Amino acid sequence: MEKYIDLINGYLNNTLSGNERKNFENRLETDSEFKEIYNEQVAILEGVKRIGLKAEINAVKQNYIRGKWKKYLGVSIGAIIVSVLVFNFFSGKEDKLKDLLNFETEYVQQYKVASDSVISIVGKKGTVITFKTKDLVNKSNRGINSDSLTINLMELTNKQDLIFANAQTISDNKWLISGGAYKIEIEANGKELFIKKGKTISVKFPKFTEEENDEMEIFYGNRNSSKYMNWSKVNLKLKVNKNYVIVYKDTTIVDEEKTKAYGGIKYTKGKLKIDSLGFLLNKEIKAQFSMINKFYAENDTLRIYNRDNKLYDDLVGLESGNERGFSVILKKDLNSILKGSNKGYKTTNYISYSNITDDFYKTIEISRLGWINVDKYTNTEELVTVSLNSNKKMYNKEVFIIDKKNNTILNVYNSKIDLPINRSFYIISIGIRNNEIYGFKKSMRFNKDSNYQIEFKKINESQIKSILTL
């Protein structure tokens, strides 16, 4: 509501530019809700005029000199209080709605760590954060005096995460496609910490988008006074991490003579390098080795082990291994194996690696904590103009446009919005009227300039999350 009042006052005070004034007047003609807000504001200002605010202020100056200021000062303050109460009424309603629509606290992961010289954590979705304690300072620019730190991390990696956290993908009115939005906060003794000037921390982000390699960049985010998110580009491009891949054959050989002579099961292990595959993405590795679900990574080199179990030169499938990864023959099966019988066994040929399933971007250095987004600007497309109306007048509502194809979440501030032609979107709107909550959600596609009516239906607070669920 604050943005409407400022805009209306700018129009009434003739401070808008020619184009802004023309857009304002067009909106008055096409947006009935905005026109009603405008009429209410005009009525308020007329009331203030009737009180004689301007005249009273001038009179206060004169009568203060004469020593008769109390009466006039009281009238002026009364008029100001009226304006403040009106503003607070509308802004309070806006804050309540935004709070109802924000579920970002559900995404907070908290890590409590000792304040060692170097700290590294891995988020639930793979984000790796590494930093030196000495590179952090408090608000007073002093070093840390605490035995432990608290790291708060949010990983918003898809459309659903972004809308629940009310994290719009917009940069100075330009649309963004998000590859993941993250919030990193570090605290000591309950107080926020900052990165020391001239220092950085290392972050490695997982890659969740299908966008082409090297197209994504880093944006820093801030919420404005109305709690809307805006992202600012910092000219830091991301490169997709590729690992050098080496494939080994991992062989277990059972020694028949020693097993017969000394009892138990005697075996040796050997590794044979099969091939070097060069630099590959994780998804390229999976395409070649469909049975992979783990690998061993060391210094950006992946070592993949193709494990065969052998009784001399004959392949025999054995029971699964112990904690060290060796293949183990069960004692009850020893006799049949030594006799050369492999009945009931199948030849095994599998690959073992540690549990990393997603591609990553290469590690980057960031100079500030808070909101960080992996983004790219959307491509230029043919647009159509959609005018949004509603079946019920809502003095306080939020309208979201969600791109079905990309990780793009937008708030609609005006009654008109330009959308790419023939692209599918969700339109979601939630509003408050007379302390009652109304909701709307529908999937739409527009192939020409259109008028679209939002059909609000009454809901309760517990249904808000289901309306926001895609």
- Whether the per-residue pLDDT at 10 is higher than 70: the answer is yes
Find the mean pLDDT for residues 109-126: 92
* Residue 322 or 64, more confident: 64
* Residue 22 or 224, more confident: 224
Domain ranges (residues) in the chain: 2-100, 105-233+360-377, 243-352, 383-468
Q: At what angle do helices 70-101 and 53-65 cross, to 10 degrees?
A: 140
Residues in the chain: 470
DSSP string, 135-204: GEE-TTS-----SEEEEEEEEE-SHHHHHHTT---EETTEEEEEEEEEEEEEEETTEE-EEPTT--EEEE
Question: What pLDDT, on the 0 to 100 scale, is given for residue 313?
Answer: 32
What percent of the chain is predicted at pLDDT more than 70?
A: 62
Question: What pLDDT, on the 0 to 100 scale, is given for residue 329?
Answer: 38
Report angle CA 328, 331, 337 to the nearest 5 degrees: 80
- Whether the per-residue pLDDT at 357 is higher than 50: the answer is no
Find the mean pLDDT for residues 197-217: 85
How far apart are alpha carbons 250 and 271 in whole angstroms? 5
Question: What pLDDT, on the 0 to 100 scale, is given for residue 161?
Answer: 95
What percent of the chain is predicted at pLDDT more than 90?
A: 42
Confidence of residue 469 (pLDDT cuts 50, 70, 90): very high
Find the mean pLDDT for residues 374-387: 92
Bridge-based pairing state of the strands 109-114 and 314-315: unpaired
Confidence of residue 323 (pLDDT cuts 50, 70, 90): very low
409-420 pLDDT, tens per residue?
998 878 889 999
Per-residue CA distances from 296 to 204, 263, 305, 357 (Å)? 18, 34, 9, 12
Average pLDDT over the chain reads 75
Lowest mean pLDDT among 108-112, 286-290, 453-457: 286-290
Predicted TM-score (pTM) of the model is: 0.65
How far apart are alpha carbons 171 and 178 in whole angstroms? 11
DSSP string, 201-237: EEEE-B----SPTT--EEEEEEE-TT--EEEEEEEEE
Query: What sign does the CA torsion over 349, 353, 357, 360 have?
Result: negative
- Whether the per-residue pLDDT at 366 is higher than 70: the answer is yes
- Whether the per-residue pLDDT at 236 is higher than 60: the answer is yes
- The CATH T-level fold of domain 105-233+360-377 is Chondroitinase Ac; Chain A, domain 3 (2.60.220)
User: Which residues have CB under 8 Å from 398's CB, separation 6+?
Assistant: 97, 98, 101, 411, 429, 430, 431
Question: What pLDDT, on the 0 to 100 scale, is given for residue 341?
Answer: 37
How far apart are alpha carbons 302 and 325 in whole angstroms? 17
User: Which residues have CB under 8 Å from 75's CB, separation 6+?
Assistant: 51, 52, 56
- Whether the per-residue pLDDT at 316 is higher than 80: the answer is no
b/e per residue 298-336 (b: at least 16 CB within 10 A):
eeeebbbbbbbbbbeeeebebeeeeeeeebebeeebbee
Find the mean pLDDT for residues 128-141: 94
Question: What pLDDT, on the 0 to 100 scale, is given for residue 163?
Answer: 94
Confidence of residue 355 (pLDDT cuts 50, 70, 90): very low
Find the mean pLDDT for residues 328-348: 38
Q: 67 is written with which tokens?
A: 């020593």
Question: What pLDDT, on the 0 to 100 scale, is given for residue 212?
Answer: 61
Find the mean pLDDT for residues 31-50: 68
How far apart are alpha carbons 105 and 124 in whole angstroms? 15
Lowest mean pLDDT among 248-252, 260-264, 426-430: 248-252
- Whether the per-residue pLDDT at 334 is higher than 50: the answer is no
- Whether the per-residue pLDDT at 188 is higher than 60: the answer is yes
Question: What pLDDT, on the 0 to 100 scale, is given for residue 337?
Answer: 41
How far apart are alpha carbons 201 and 143 in whole angstroms? 16
- The CATH T-level fold of domain 383-468 is Immunoglobulin-like (2.60.40)
How far apart are alpha carbons 314 and 342 in whole angstroms? 10
Q: What is the DSSP letter of 437?
A: E
